[in-house]
């Protein structure tokens, strides 16, 4: 019985590792290390060709046996990434449904806990500063630290960032490093090009590690820009770990509340495509500059 349980555990772990590797979140070396750690005293031996790792079926594939109305289920599955029509084995989910859930949950956790890579920041030519949260655990446990800059970040921004510009762009990891690396390469150039074409003066974009939305208010108090826009990773779900939001605010101060922010969310390849979002955000920023207001105050002027 113990041997059988070990075999089931091995298959589940292998399947989860395969899904992570397929999504580019785990190298072969990392997969071998995690397998060894998970199995502990069980020696890892290469699988024969007949025991390849389980391949998960596409999410849109019908998993219900003998559905009452198969066409209706297929139609619903096309309209949403939600886990519907996945079937069950008695009172429990089917093995494939469970494996996909475990794999997607692992991807979501990695999006939160992994950092945006230094290689990515260098490739995008982004200066990097940090919030008052010294590490990821502190960032998650103490949200207020992610809303303000560290002393070193204040000094760096004061010395290196241009002051009194119309727009300052922040890239903030927030709760998904995946969202930053997946969307910024297309979103940021489109946004910069749009603002340049509109004749809007933009400060040099930079990256904030372990930051939350309200950190844009702290940055605004240093650079004194008219508009601050934060491109920030959203809390990942089991449907996608790559969703990004844009929070735009006009001249925030110590009286600013959440309703003062204009938000464009669900920016990713399965939602608002990042390049399209860049063009749309240009129009939104132009409206905010013209109205000298954002959030609810902007909407009240329309």
Q: Is 16 annotated as a binding residue?
A: no
Q: Residue ranges per domain, the chain?
A: 2-113, 118-301
Q: Is 257 annotated as a binding residue?
A: no
Token pair of 118, please?
């230094």
Cβ atoms within 10 Å of 50's Cβ, excluding its own = 5
- Report the C-alpha gap between 227 and 249 in whole angstroms: 6
> For 85, how many CA atoms within 13 A lie in the half-sphere containing its CB?
24
| Contact by Cβ (8 Å): 153, 130 | yes
Its CATH class, for the domain covering 118-301, is: alpha beta
Token pair of 161, please?
């960032």
User: In a structure prediction context, what are the per-residue pLDDT tens digits for the chain, which is 302 residues long?
Assistant: 555 555 656 666 666 666 666 655 555 555 555 555 455 444 444 545 554 555 666 767 778 888 888 888 888 888 877 788 888 888 888 888 888 888 888 888 887 888 899 999 999 999 999 999 999 999 999 999 999 999 999 999 999 999 999 999 999 999 999 899 999 999 999 999 999 999 999 999 999 999 999 999 999 999 999 999 999 999 887 767 889 999 999 999 888 999 999 999 999 988 999 999 999 999 999 999 999 999 999 988 86
The closest of 237, 234, 229, 238 to 267, measured between CA atoms, is 234
- Report the C-alpha gap between 298 and 302 in whole angstroms: 7
- Report the C-alpha gap between 240 and 82 in whole angstroms: 10
Is the pTM of the predicted complex or chain greater than 0.85?
no
Token pair of 248, please?
């735009």
Topology of domain 2-113, per CATH? DNA Binding (I), subunit A (1.10.30)
């Amino acid at each position: 019985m113990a041997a059988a349980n070990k075999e089931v555990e091995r298959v589940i772990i292998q399947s989860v590792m395969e899904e992570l590797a397929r999504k580019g979140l785990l190298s072969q070396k990392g997969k071998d290390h995690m397998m060894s750690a998970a199995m502990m005293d069980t020696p890892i031996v290469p699988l024969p060709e007949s025991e390849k790792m389980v391949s998960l079926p596409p999410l849109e594939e019908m998993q219900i046996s003998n559905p009452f109305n198969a066409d209706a289920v297929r139609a619903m599955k096309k309209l949403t990434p939600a886990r519907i029509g996945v079937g069950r084995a008695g009172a429990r989910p089917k093995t494939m449904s469970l494996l996909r859930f475990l794999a997607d949950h692992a991807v979501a956790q990695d999006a939160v806990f992994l950092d945006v890579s230094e290689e990515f920041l260098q490739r995008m030519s982004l200066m990097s500063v940090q919030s008052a949260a010294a590490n990821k655990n502190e960032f998650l446990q103490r949200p207020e630290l992610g809303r303000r800059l560290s002393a070193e970040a204040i000094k760096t921004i004061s010395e290196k960032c241009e002051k009194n510009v119309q727009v300052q762009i922040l890239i903030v990891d927030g709760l998904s490093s995946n969202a930053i690396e997946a969307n910024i390469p297309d979103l940021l150039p489109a946004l910069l090009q749009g603002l340049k074409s509109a004749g809007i003066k933009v400060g040099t974009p930079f990256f904030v590690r372990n930051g939350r939305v309200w950190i844009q208010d702290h940055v605004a108090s240093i650079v004194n820009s008219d508009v601050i826009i934060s491109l920030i990773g959203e809390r990942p779900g089991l449907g996608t770990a790559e969703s990004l939001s844009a929070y735009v605010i006009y001249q925030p101060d110590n009286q600013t509340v959440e309703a003062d922010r204009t938000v464009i969310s669900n920016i990713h390849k399965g939602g608002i495509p990042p390049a399209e979002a860049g063009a749309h955000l240009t129009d939104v920023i132009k409206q905010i500059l013209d109205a000298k207001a954002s959030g609810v105050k902007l909407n009240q002027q329309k």
